[in-house]
Amino acid sequence: MKYILFFTLYIVTLFANTLNDYDEGLQFFEEKAYMKAYVSFEKAFYEDMANPKISFYMGRCSFEMGDLELAMLAYERVLILDETHIRSRLELARTYILLKMDEKAKIELNTVLKMKPPKQVEENIHMLIAHIEEKKKNSFWTFYFGLATGYDTNINANPGEEVLINYLVDTFNLNRNAITASDMISAMYMQEMLNVGNTYKFKDSRFFLESSFLIFAQQYDAYSEYNLVYVALTSALATVYKGYKISVPLNLSKVYYGGVGLLDSQYIQLKVEKKLTKNTVGRVAVKFQKKHYNSVTNKGRNSDTHELELGVNHAMGEHLFRLSYLRIQEEKNTDATQTFVNKDSDTYNLGYSTSITKAIRLNAQYSYINNQYEDLISATQKRLDKFSSYSISLGKKITKKISIAAEYKYTENASNYIPVGYDKSNYNIKLTMVF
């Protein structure tokens, strides 16, 4: 009789301890203390190996800690105990995808589809299967089209490229009554932008080619001499090595201003990006650029540019912070006596975006550019341009592929060289489509 009572007490105690370990594991899991949770679930597992819930949470903890192989074994163990455990099949499929075992992932996803899951789950599964199939392709295309209308309070200043200010002063004042950047002319405009992108994966999957073709046009009904067109072709050989994305973009571009070819440029860049933490990405880039002006009066501006960029993006839930710094040195590559070309430039950019609702996103940007020229504007004073710009926009997704946004931007150049000092405001509404 004693032995029976002792054995019964042992079983009851053992059952109670199992519940305590499992409940403790759940509490740690909710607190995102995944290592402590795993230890508790592991104790519970050795006391009740036939409980699929315990193995499931062991898999979840392993996944969150980054041990994908251990997570895979835990989910597979659950399905041995309970073939109908949908969540385990879905988590196992997600783990297979990260382990690059796509065919196994498809088997699990198709098995769940046969179980008639809820409609939302079914839609997500079809999206995952489409993603797996998409990865098999060697070539991927993206198309971006933007259409905007806006109001510019000073189209005579910086309509899109900082270099155009100099172009206005040195060229257009010859036949337009000495117009300078501060002479304010306001006007409505239309913008159109088309960007066609392609990513091609080589047979050696470590390397891929990223290419894009961009056309941007800004047109004024009443002032066609201010129309701006920018065309660019970029192609970059890239690879991912030990967590670093390394790319070498080559770019050819052309700027038209007032229907006349203004500037041709070419650059080569080396860019390195790396995920520094789970939510932080850093980048370093160096660039060499050559600029060639088309008009005879501006040939003396032909220059070589060297650029260093440092940047970091950090995500905190729905909030994204962007910070970057650019150091640029520009020098004439001709013997012409053209002034205001050689300069050192420092640029600071700070950006922030967040989701206000599921469909509405807020974006804010601040930029400061300090340009110090080699040339003097007086006996002892060098030209110094200080650009400040602020922008804020609200965007809303209309469909998965179509968005609309409203933006306000203020720009000021507090220059000690009077002809190029100005301020302006810009308002626009933009419709974008991605497909």
What domains does the chain contain, in order, with CATH numbers?
A: 2-135 (1.25.40.10), 139-434 (2.40.160.40)
Tens digits of residue pLDDT in 221-233 = 888 888 889 899 9
Query: How far apart are alpha carbons 334 and 136 in whole angstroms?
Result: 50
Residue 122 in tokens:
């079914």
Q: What is the pLDDT of residue 140?
A: 86
What average pLDDT score do residues 312-332 get? 95
Q: What is the pLDDT of residue 422?
A: 83
The pLDDT of residue 338 is: 74
Confidence of residue 182 (pLDDT cuts 50, 70, 90): low
**Global model pTM greater than 0.85:** no
Q: How confident is the model at residue 406 (pLDDT cuts 50, 70, 90)?
A: very high
Place of tokens 């960007």: 195
pLDDT in tens, 109-157: 999 999 999 998 999 899 889 888 877 788 889 999 999 999 998 887 7
Residue 374 has pLDDT above 50, yes or no: yes
- Mean residue pLDDT of the chain comes to 87
The number of angstroms, rounded, from the C-alpha of 390 to the middle of its chain's C-alpha atoms is 20
Beta strands in 10-169 (DSSP E): 139-152
Contact 197, 212 (CB under 8 A): yes
Would you state the pLDDT for residue 181?
62
Helical axes 52-64 vs 34-47, angle rounded to 10°: 150
Segments of 183-259 assigned E as strands: 187-201, 207-219, 228-241, 244-257
3-state helix/strand/coil string of 62-81: HHHCCCHHHHHHHHHHHHHH
For residues 419-434, one letter each, b for 16 or more C-beta atoms within 10 angstroms of the residue's C-beta and e for the rest, the string is bbbbbbebebebebee
pLDDT given for residue 191 in this prediction: 93
In the chain, the amino acid numbered 340 is: F
Q: Decide if 407 contacts 425 (C-beta within 8 A).
A: no
Distance of alpha carbon 333 from alpha carbon 139, whole angstroms? 39
Task: Quote the percentage of the chain above a pLDDT of 90.
Answer: 63
Instruction: Give the pLDDT confidence score for residue 297 in this predicted structure.
Output: 66
pLDDT tens per residue across span 246-272: 999 999 999 888 888 888 999 999 999
DSSP for 324-361, written as a single string = EEEEEEEEE-S-----S--EEEEEEEEEEEEESSSSEE
Give pLDDT, residue 158. Answer: 53
Q: At what angle do helices 2-30 and 52-64 cross, to 10 degrees?
A: 30
pLDDT recorded at residue 4: 54
**How would residue 295 be classed by pLDDT, with cut points 50, 70 and 90?**
confident
**Token output for 254:** 């052309």
Contacting residues for 369 by C-beta, under 8 A, at least 6 apart: 162, 345, 346, 347, 348, 385, 386, 387
Reference 152, options 362, 415, 422; nearest CA is 422
Lowest mean pLDDT across 127-141, 170-184, 368-382 = 170-184
Confidence check: pLDDT of 24 > 70: yes
Q: How far apart are CA 232 and CA 211, in angstroms?
A: 11
- Of 30-39, 113-122, 177-186, give the lowest mean pLDDT range: 177-186
Reported confidence tier of residue 167, pLDDT bands at 50, 70, 90: very low
Q: Residue 172 carries which DSSP code? A: G
pLDDT given at position 80: 93
Direct distance between the N- and C-terminal alpha carbons of the chain, in angstroms, rounded to an integer: 77
Q: Which two tokens stand for residue 172?
A: 């257009």
Instruction: Count the Cβ atoms, other than its own, within 10 Å of residue 123.
Output: 11
144-150-156 Cα angle (round to 5): 110
CB 164 within 8 A of CB 181: no
Spatial CB neighbours of 51, under 8 Å, sequence gap ≥ 6: 18, 22, 44, 45, 81
